[in-house]
Structure 1
Amino acid sequence: MVVNVFFSAVTQATLSRHELLAWVNDCLQANLTKIEEMATGAAYCGLTDLLFPGSCQLKKVKWNSRHEVDWINNWRVLQGSWKQLGVDKPVPVEKLLKAKFQENFEFLQWFKKFFDANYEEHDYDAVSARGGEEFPAVLPGGKAPPPARAAPRPAVPSTTRRSPGITSAPQKSTAAATQKPAIITQKAPSSNNSNGSSGVNVAAIEEKYKKQMEELIQENAALTESVTGLEKERDFYFNKLRAVEILCTEIGEDQHVHVKRITNILYETEDGCDEEHAEILQQQESPIPPVEVQEHTNGHSNHDEKEITPEEKVHDVAQKAAEINLDDSETF
């Protein structure tokens, strides 16, 4: 039967980070260098299998992955094992995944007390249990970890429950590690209580990330479609302006352009001119647009729109010259 413990760093003696790391490395034949490396959940899977042999599916554990999705998988494997064992400790997965020192240090302190309260002496090969995989694996150009050693037999305290001794720690640290902690025991919770645990549900976190990813994919597709439409519209109107510019360039000295040609460019679509604007184009025969002529009377201007051609201008000048009769014989 699993013994659940409640741990408080204020009321109970704790180990330093170096002592805890030495203990984890000694139990798992590992080479961890920082408390933050416990955030992957892989070490807890190995320690749980050491504590309760065969209780954790180590084949599903990603020992050396650097991807958060694989870390979430490790915590799911661990929580499934703890649920079957009856461990009622809430696991703050979301906080531990951030790989911050304080959260992972406090959780490892609790696990050490839990381990001491439940460990019974037995032989265990941690390297063989994880398929001979190095933990953590050596990075390219990095220093290789020390060769694997046989797991040492833990020191036997006066009580029936024991925990492995820390072979590489000072004498004072070893005494502190083997000392039986003050614990509060309780009956193993029922399956209903374990199902209602307040710990973070790893499956819910993964589902949340998948939903966010789908929303981002849909948003990206909508934005891509919008940008494509805007670029197409931009090119359409630019081509119209370019056509008008070419038309104005080709006019030459005549400087006469039919309005119909300009409106034909403006109303033209990709499939040609539509029926509504085709009727407008048929009605337009004027060579140039109306010219506004202003006549000033007593400081006021009257606006009349007239269409003036060069022939009409010559005729008006000749008519006004005929109306003026000058007598060359008169002198002033």
Structure 2
Amino acid sequence: MVVNVFISAVTTDTLSRKDAVAWVNNLLKSHFTKVEEMASGAAYCQLTHLLFNNSINLRKVKFNPRSEPDILNNWKVLTTAWKHLEIDKPVDVEKMKKAKFQDNMEFLQWFYKFFNANLAVEPEDYDAVAARFGEDLPALKGATGARPAAPAPRTVAAAPKAKPLPTSVPPVVSKPAPAVTSNVRNGARPAPATSAGSRRSENSPNEDILKQEVEKQKTVASEWETMAKEMESEREFYYAMLQQVEGLLHEADELKSATIDKESLRSILYQGNKDTEQNGEENPQLQDALAANLDDTETF
């Protein structure tokens, strides 16, 4: 019998973005690089096939869909199988197919908890690649299998016809040999005194300017990359915090309570970003602000 679960962020089952992608790749021997690629639905079809012993016909699944109808086909195959298995999770296909990070991350978090709740035996003997008929998931970039076009045949120009030699050959006039200088006699030839040679050995001003501009652009690109990583880390930190607060609301609804425990909320708000904790850094301004807000009221 299927064990249905509800999503709650206040649990040890919650995964980070990188851990979630690594979990899927480990089970399916796939090479997903980001959560948004799960929007095709193909991975969920095979994970259900693994979990419930061939409950889905994988021949109907488009593992590398090329159009929106292929994606819709995968989600239809999945939801049909879930209906027979009596899985009561609603799937908003219109949101999932747009490949937004938040929608797909929430769905993957739920499926991770659902998978662990229904896993009876570790799938050690499951050959994921053979089950999907040796197809890559997703397809590797550049591996299209197209053969290069054959080179066009070269056209050989016809050799010009030799002109007939004149009947009368003009007499050959011998020119006097040039005078040999003492330098040539000694085996040394003077270098040609041209201004072009000296110019080649020196970098032109334009080349130096271009090199400086390239280095400047590399520095700017590195700064933007660092800024993007920091923004992504901050986004995940606050998203995880909101998920945990949402979990407290779910627990309060189940207990039919009109309040939320202050200490539980404080433990969520005071936990630091994982990246910040690893570096041993804190944000005292954020903690002071949170402490001031929490001290005003005991419950919410």
Structure 2 length normalisation: TM-score? 0.46
Q: Is the strand fraction higher in 1 or 2? A: 1
Structure 1 length normalisation: TM-score? 0.42
Q: Could you say which structure has the larger radius of gyration?
A: 1
Looking at both structures, which has the greater relative contact order when contacts are Cα pairs under 8 Å and sequence separation is at least 6? 2
